[in-house]
Chain A
Amino acid sequence: EAQVTQNPRYLITVTGKKLTVTCSQNMNHEYMSWYRQDPGLGLRQIYYSMNVEVTDKGDVPEGYKVSRKEKRNFPLILESPSPNQTSLYFCASSLGELGGGPYEQFFGPGTRLTVL
């Protein structure tokens, strides 16, 4: 089944404790992206990656890191989480250039993160 998977689905942590949210897709997609969803703010892009070893900042990159060492994986790293990073996070992927751009993105099920 074609899908985007994220782990963990739920996480409660404390300020300053480094964490990683994994994202993996099995559709051989070039483009991957991370979003956060907050009440009243909709979906905001954190980082995106056009291809392996190519990443770029989205609208709200502060406090986050990403890496794209392999096509299928795009982990989101919070080196020192703070309470304002409490949010619902979504990973997404799409065909990228071959498919006409980062248009029809497939989203993962989401990771609800709480930072105390």
Chain B
Amino acid sequence: DQQVKQNSPSLSVQEGRISILNCDYTNSMFDYFLWYKKYPAEGPTFLISISSIKDKNEDGRFTVFLNKSAKHLSLHIVPSQPGDSAVYFCAASASGNTPLVFGKGTRLSVIA
């Protein structure tokens, strides 16, 4: 059973508009969430994270929102740029050094 779900395999957005990538989780023990970005032929790179004690974390154009009651988080990219085109993975972990659990990823295409 998938504990971290990214239900949209792909998303296409125009340059300058907002990109919203969604992620749902089922394990209520998860208390730390991360987003990774992956370009072709490269390893994933860490983008932004959020702890369960917060509901929002912002870093430049990237904001992650966490809704614990809905077990849902989202990544907002504003404004979207062509260089943001990549696969985005949502990941989650529970306290106590448990391994990260990744979603299947969402491919974002930002069209100029």
Interfacial residues, chain A to chain B (CB-CB below 8 A):
4, 31, 33, 35, 40-45, 48, 50, 58, 90, 92, 96-97, 101-110
Contact = CB atoms under 8 A, between A and B. Distances in A.
A110 B44 CA distance: 9
Nearest to A4: B43
Interface stretch (B14-22, B62-70, B72-80, B91-99): B91-99
The 7 tightest CB contacts between A and B, nearest first, are: A107-B43, A42-B104, A43-B102, A101-B97, A104-B46, A107-B44, A42-B105
Counting chain A CB atoms within 10 Å of each CB, which of B42, B45, B100 scores highest? B100
Interface of B: 6, 9, 32, 34, 36, 41-46, 49, 89, 93, 95-105
A42 B89 contact: yes
A44 B100 CA distance: 9
Contact of A110 (B36, B42, B100): B42
Contact of B34 (A58, A96, A97, A104): A104
Contacts of A48: 99
Contacts, number: 64
Contacts of A102: 93, 97-100
Given A45-B102, A103-B100, A109-B41, 7 more contacts: A40-B104, A96-B97, A101-B96, A107-B36, A107-B43, A107-B44, A110-B42
Contacts of B100: 33, 45, 102-103, 105
A4 B34 CA distance: 19
Given A105-B46, A109-B43, A33 B104 contact: no
Given A101-B32, A103-B49, A109 B42 contact: yes
B34 A42 contact: no
B94 to A, nearest CB: 9
